[in-house]
């Protein structure tokens, strides 16, 4: 009885919710959009492309359209193969995966602390490659055998050649295992005259029949060994080896690679075949690209039929040919995180430096740049570096890039699209000019009208408002003299602006203006004095940081300069303007340069502040803070916690002087964050998280670090399953699972459970019930300091 009481007390304590520091990602349902692809697979019905972040793209119509499957986002899927219509794959660590539904759904199997290097299929078995081992699986991914092989090399991958597994055995040697009789052999490359004091063979690939190809260390030649002829030789000397994958079939070797022309910011992509007699590479691909392609890094080339090939690479790159390599079509490439425009769950646009217009119409599954290219994109600095420029999409179809062309190589200042970035047009708009470096041009929309606001500082300062029509022509122009604006915001079709009178003798005096007639006339609401600047700064306005609006509040971040102990010191101020009360006050004061405020927005009943630390040092490190129940008289700034994923880096996707263009309130928003696991930036779409299968929201104030759904079936006989939702900062692989009876005795341990991770925040847990009498049992899940339990009835 004492043991039972202690056990019940432990269970009672375990279900008391804890309230740790809030993780920004706890309340969000994330979909990883970006991925670096490692390869492709084909089973005669569907094409798969796969990579890091657990991302798989699938097409069942030959690559015309694609769908995305998101698995556990800790997966780096190295390789997928097929046996018939079934797919089998490995991640670089801990997981094997398989699909018996043509790649639509997947099962994962976890192997603790195991590194995988590749996978291949031979006859009706699946072989995974580990360090000095081959694991053999049946078609249900049950491990049936383990083979070992000796190697002195740190290069553990290998390839299938006929009935042999061939691997790098060490310096100047290839090893192999005959998979039919498990006999091993060694090939000495020095004995064939390929080298002396030979390096380690690396980057093995094969024609799967009789020839293995390889490189020797840092040597620039490609070599081959033919098992039928028992012969080794040099194949040719490639022009490029890095990011230049090969593919072999029969006696032919193909290669694809790209070369970037820096001065023009464009790639040339080369695809061809090796003439082994002449030891030369012959180009098959025509010279032109059908899209504005730059920054391509290929990782894998795969022919899935005689004439159809798939080349994939970093940054969600998919490139396909249907005529043997003569013509190629870009299917996807997302290698630029820049100003982001999100319209709905399917359509988003990006306008990047060098006038690259990228678009997606399938929810971020695939991304494409525009088809046409011009040297203007790279030669005009305001297009390449976005100095005096404005980028904007009016809607999902119409967008533009304005870049001042004064003193630029090409007298073109306007690049625009009518078809969502599929193609772009160029022109010079003579009336459109911007001639001050103290502020950027603004773009505002009001009552479905789009207005570009530029400024002049020749003699007197004045603003120029130019309204665009549907044909991207200026239909009306008007001016506002002796005034400079540093921010314009649209709040329910009333425009608000913060600016100065340029003839004021007081340099730290600003004004709030508003307009109710689409910027035709401006009414001065009240003036605001900020901290006085030192004398050698002519106006305060050069140091305006950013302006954002949430509800009735305008948040105005300002960098100031003042003298402390005879030293000029940079500092930060954050002011809030209440447009209803027409009040203005300082709410944050830092007497040194601190985090720079980029954007303020509302998310899940909180006001979120996006900061950039060390902005002045040009080392942008993002951070997020939040305020609950904001009151401009008093408020408490709190910090979010972050683990694997850092804070969203809105410097990459948002313009600090535009309203958020990648945020659709709580419905959907996009952001880029640093993924510390894969050490790369990643693009995500996010929604406020929904738990369970009933469609009911979980109250965010009471979200547990672990949440278990009701077990199914109930009562149970041979098994029971449930879903686990967990805080993304916790590693579910470290969880412990056990079962107790009502006497407090442990009757089953972790080995009775199977865990399948579904994504970064949820998994399916299955308890296999064996040798237990009918009764009531308690399943307990422990993870870190957290534990949860559910009751299971066994009959």
Rounded to an integer, what distance in angstroms lies between the CA atom of residue 366 and that of residue 35? 11
Handedness of CA 240, 244, 245, 251 (dihedral sign): negative
Alpha-carbon Rg of the chain, whole angstroms?
Answer: 31
Classify strands 266-275 and 252-261 as parallel, antiparallel or unpaired.
antiparallel
Over residues 253-269, the pLDDT tens digits come to 999 999 999 999 999 99
Q: Which two tokens stand for residue 470?
A: 């549907």
Residue 384 burial by CB count (10 A; 0-12/13-18/19+): exposed, middle or buried?
A: middle
pLDDT at position 756 is: 79
Rounded to an integer, what distance in angstroms lies between the CA atom of residue 709 and that of residue 707? 7
Rounded to an integer, what distance in angstroms lies between the CA atom of residue 569 and that of residue 556? 20
Q: Which residue has the tokens 């230049």?
A: 244
Look at residue 700 and give its three-state secondary structure: helix
Over residues 369-420, the pLDDT tens digits come to 999 999 999 998 888 888 778 999 999 999 999 988 877 778 899 999 999 9
Q: Which residue has the tokens 């549907």?
A: 470
Q: Which residue has the tokens 């991304």?
A: 367
Q: What are phi and psi of 606, to 5 degrees?
A: -120, 150
> 512 pairs with which residues across the strands?
498, 526
Rounded to an integer, what distance in angstroms lies between the CA atom of residue 320 and that of residue 237? 25
Q: Which residue has the tokens 């040194």?
A: 592
Rounded to an integer, what distance in angstroms lies between the CA atom of residue 79 and that of residue 780? 36
DSSP state of 709: P
Low-confidence ranges of the chain (pLDDT < 50): 1-20, 534-542, 615-618, 691-704
Of 131, 121, 117, give the one whose Cα is nearest residue 78: 117
Cα 85 from chain centroid (whole Å): 30
Length of the chain equals 795
Q: How would you label 686-702 residue by residue, b for 16+ Cβ within 10 Å and e otherwise?
A: bbbbebeeeeeeeeeee
> 165 pairs with which residues across the strands?
160, 177
Cα 358 from chain centroid (whole Å): 15
Residue 618 burial by CB count (10 A; 0-12/13-18/19+): exposed, middle or buried?
A: exposed
User: Which pTM value belongs to this model?
Assistant: 0.83
DSSP state of 12: H
pLDDT at position 699 is: 34
End-to-end CA distance of the chain: 25
Rounded to an integer, what distance in angstroms lies between the CA atom of residue 337 and that of residue 683? 8
Rounded to an integer, what distance in angstroms lies between the CA atom of residue 167 and that of residue 155? 8
Residue 442 contacts residue 463 (beta carbons within 8 Å): no
pLDDT at position 519 is: 95
Rounded to an integer, what distance in angstroms lies between the CA atom of residue 7 and that of residue 376? 74
Rounded to an integer, what distance in angstroms lies between the CA atom of residue 550 and that of residue 559? 21
pLDDT at position 778 is: 92
């Amino acid at each position: 009885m004492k043991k039972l009481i202690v056990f019940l007390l432990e269970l009672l304590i375990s279900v008391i919710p804890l309230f740790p520091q809030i993780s920004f990602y706890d309340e969000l349902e994330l979909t990883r959009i970006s991925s670096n692809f490692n390869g492709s697979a084909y089973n005669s019905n569907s094409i798969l492309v796969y990579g890091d972040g657990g991302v798989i793209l699938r097409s069942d119509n030959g690559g015309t359209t694609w769908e995305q499957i998101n698995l556990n986002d800790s997966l780096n899927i190295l390789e997928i193969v097929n046996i018939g219509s079934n797919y089998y794959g490995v991640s670089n660590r801990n997981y094997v995966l398989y699909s018996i539904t043509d790649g639509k759904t997947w099962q994962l199997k976890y192997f603790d602390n195991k590194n995988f290097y590749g996978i291949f299929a031979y006859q009706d078995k699946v072989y995974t490659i580990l360090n000095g081992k081959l694991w053999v699986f049946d078609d249900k991914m049950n491990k049936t055998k383990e083979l070992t092989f000796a190697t002195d090399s740190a290069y553990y991958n290998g390839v299938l050649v006929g009935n042999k597994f061939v691997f790098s055995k060490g310096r100047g040697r290839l090893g192999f295992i005959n998979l039919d009789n498990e006999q091993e052999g060694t090939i000495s490359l020095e004995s064939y005259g390929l080298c002396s004091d030979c390096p380690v063979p690396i980057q093995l690939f094969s024609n799967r029949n009789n020839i293995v190809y390889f490189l020797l260390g840092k040597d620039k030649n490609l070599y081959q060994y033919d098992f039928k002829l028992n012969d080794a030789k040099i194949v040719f000397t490639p022009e490029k080896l890095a990011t230049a994958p090969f593919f072999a079939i029969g006696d032919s070797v193909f290669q694809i690679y790209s070369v970037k022309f820096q001065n023009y910011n464009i790639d040339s992509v080369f695809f061809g075949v090796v003439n082994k007699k002449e030891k030369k590479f012959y180009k098959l691909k025509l010279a032109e690209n059908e899209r504005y392609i730059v920054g391509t890094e290929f990782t894998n080339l795969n022919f899935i039929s005689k004439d159809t090939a798939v080349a994939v690479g970093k940054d969600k790159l998919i490139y396909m040919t249907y005529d043997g390599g003569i013509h190629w079509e870009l299917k996807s490439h997302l290698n630029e995180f820049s100003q982001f425009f999100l319209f709905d769950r399917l359509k988003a646009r990006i306008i990047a430096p060098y006038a690259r217009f990228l678009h997606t119409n399938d929810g971020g599954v695939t991304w494409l740049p525009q088809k046409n290219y011009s040297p203007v994109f790279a030669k005009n600095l305001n297009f390449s570096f976005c100095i005096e420029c404005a980028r904007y999409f009016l809607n999902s179809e119409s967008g533009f890039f304005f870049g001042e062309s004064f003193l630029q190589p090409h007298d073109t200042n306007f690049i625009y699209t009518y078809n969502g970035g599929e193609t772009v047009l160029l022109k010079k708009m003579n009336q459109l000019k911007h001639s001050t470096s103290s502020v950027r041009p603004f773009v505002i929309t009001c009552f479905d009208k789009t207005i570009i606001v530029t400024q002049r500082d020749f003699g007197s300062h004045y603003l120029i408002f130019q309204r665009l029509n549907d044909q991207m022509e200026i239909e009306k122009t008007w001016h506002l003299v002796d005034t400079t604006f540093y921010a314009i915001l649209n709040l329910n079709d009333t425009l608000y602006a913060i600016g100065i009178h340029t003839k004021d003798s007081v340099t730290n005096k600003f004004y709030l203006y508003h307009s109710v007639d689409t910027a035709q006339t401006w009414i001065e609401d009240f003036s605001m004095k900020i901290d006085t600047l030192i004398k050698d700064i002519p106006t305060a306005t050069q140091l305006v940081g950013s302006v954002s609006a949430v509800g009735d509040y305008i948040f105005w971040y300002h960098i100031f300069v003042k003298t402390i102990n005879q030293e000029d010191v940079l500092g930060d101020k954050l002011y809030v303007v209440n447009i209803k009360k027409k009040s203005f006050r300082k709410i944050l004061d830092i007497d040194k340069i601190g985090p720079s405020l980029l954007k303020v927005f509302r998310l899940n009943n909180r006001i979120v502040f996006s900061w950039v630390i060390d902005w002045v040092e040009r080392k942008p490190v993002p951070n997020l803070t939040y305020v609950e129940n904001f009151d401009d008289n008093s408020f408490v700034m709190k910090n979010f916690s972050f683990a694997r994923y850092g804070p969203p880096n809105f410097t990459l996707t948002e313009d600090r002087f535009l309203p958020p263009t990648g945020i659709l309130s709580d419905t959907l928003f996009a952001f880029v964050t640093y993924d510390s696991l894969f050490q790369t930036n990643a693009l995500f779409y996010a929604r406020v998280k929904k738990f369970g299968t009933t469609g009911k929201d979980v109250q965010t104030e009471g979200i547990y670090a672990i949440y278990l759904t009701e077990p199914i079936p109930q009562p149970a006989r041979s098994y029971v399953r449930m879903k686990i939702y967990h805080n993304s900062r916790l590693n579910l692989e470290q969880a412990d699972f056990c079962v107790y009876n009502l006497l407090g005795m442990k009757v089953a341990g972790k080995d009775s459970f199977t865990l399948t991770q579904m994504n970064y925040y949820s998994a399916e847990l299955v308890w296999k019930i064996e040798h237990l009498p009918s009764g009531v049992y308690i399943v307990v899940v422990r993870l870190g300091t957290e534990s949860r339990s559910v009751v299971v009835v066994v009959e």
